[in-house]
């Protein structure tokens, strides 16, 4: 299976990317592409810019979505919503191909330093992503990042079990 893994943050210190990096190391026997959080420098979407043409970075990312079988996304939260960076990516992608997630199963995560685990951002993504024909098969928040993730490892057994359950569903490893 070809799995695309992307964080909805462009921070060089993204905790969402750290969690995805950890998760990607747990996946064996599949082709993975873990995209660095700051890989795409894009102008803020506008119809005026679209009329001038789509940025090459958007074309490249769209091709990655077309080629993958499924994806793992982890969204950050700014002011109780997804980040402007991630929203901008979605705006550009959906203007090139409204159904860019067609037939893509998704594991949707959200991660924060607070006790809600970026719940508001995840809920916003849960409403938005199916509009592009993606199927969210598992969704979970990862709260209190500094307390639950140390030295590159998940140290909370309950969160580890939830992450594994999401991976198993995505990869079809269910009994």
- The string of pLDDT tens digits covering residues 70-127 is 999 999 999 999 999 999 999 999 999 999 999 999 999 999 999 999 999 999 999 9
**pLDDT for residue 104:** 97
pLDDT the model gives residue 25: 96
- Mean pLDDT computed over every residue of the chain: 95
Q: Where are the domains of the chain?
A: 2-171
Using the predicted structure, report yes or no on whether residue 128 has a pLDDT greater than 80. Answer: yes
Which pair of structure tokens corresponds to residue 86?
A: 């991630």
Please give the full DSSP string across 54-103, using - where no structure is assigned.
--HHHHHHHHHHHH-SEEEEEE-EETTEE-HHHHHHHHHHHHH-TTTTTT
Percent of the chain residues topping a pLDDT of 90: 94
Q: 143 phi and psi, to 5 degrees?
A: -85, 170
Rounded CA-CA distance 119/29 in Å is: 31
How many CB atoms within 10 Å of residue 47?
7
Residue 38: per-residue pLDDT: 81
Query: CA 115, CA 33: separation in Å to the nearest integer?
Result: 29
Strand partners, 138: 107
Q: What is the pTM of this model?
A: 0.95
Going from the C-alpha of 156 to that of each of 21, 69, 87, 106, 114, the distances in angstroms are 17, 30, 30, 23, 15
Class of domain 2-171: alpha beta
Is residue 157 predicted with pLDDT exceeding 70?
yes
Residue 174 has pLDDT above 80, yes or no: no
Instruction: Provide the pLDDT confidence category of residue 175 given band limits of 50, 70 and 90.
Output: low
**Tens-digit pLDDT profile for residues 26-68:** 999 999 999 987 888 889 999 999 999 999 999 999 999 999 9
Strands (E), the chain: 2-8, 31-35, 70-75, 77-78, 81-82, 105-111, 135-142, 149-150, 153-154
Can you tell me whether residue 140 is helix, strand or coil? strand
């Amino acid at each position: 299976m070809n799995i695309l893994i992307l964080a909805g943050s462009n921070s060089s210190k993204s905790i969402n990317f750290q969690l995805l990096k950890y998760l990607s190391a747990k996946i064996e026997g599949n082709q993975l592409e873990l995209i660095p959080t700051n890989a795409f420098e894009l102008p803020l979407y506008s119809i005026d810019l679209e009329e001038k043409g789509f940025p090459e970075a958007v074309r490249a990312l769209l091709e990655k979505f077309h080629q993958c079988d499924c994806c793992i996304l982890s969204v950050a939260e700014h002011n109780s919503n997804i980040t402007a960076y991630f929203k901008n990516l979605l705006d550009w992608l959906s203007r090139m191909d409204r159904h860019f997630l067609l037939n893509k199963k998704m594991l949707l995560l959200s991660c924060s330093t607070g006790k809600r685990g970026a719940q508001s951002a995840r809920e916003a993504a849960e409403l938005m992503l199916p509009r592009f024909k993606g199927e969210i098969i598992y969704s979970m928040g990862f709260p209190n990042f500094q307390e639950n993730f140390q030295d590159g490892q998940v140290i909370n057994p309950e969160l580890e079990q939830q992450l594994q359950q999401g991976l198993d569903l995505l990869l079809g490893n269910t009994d």
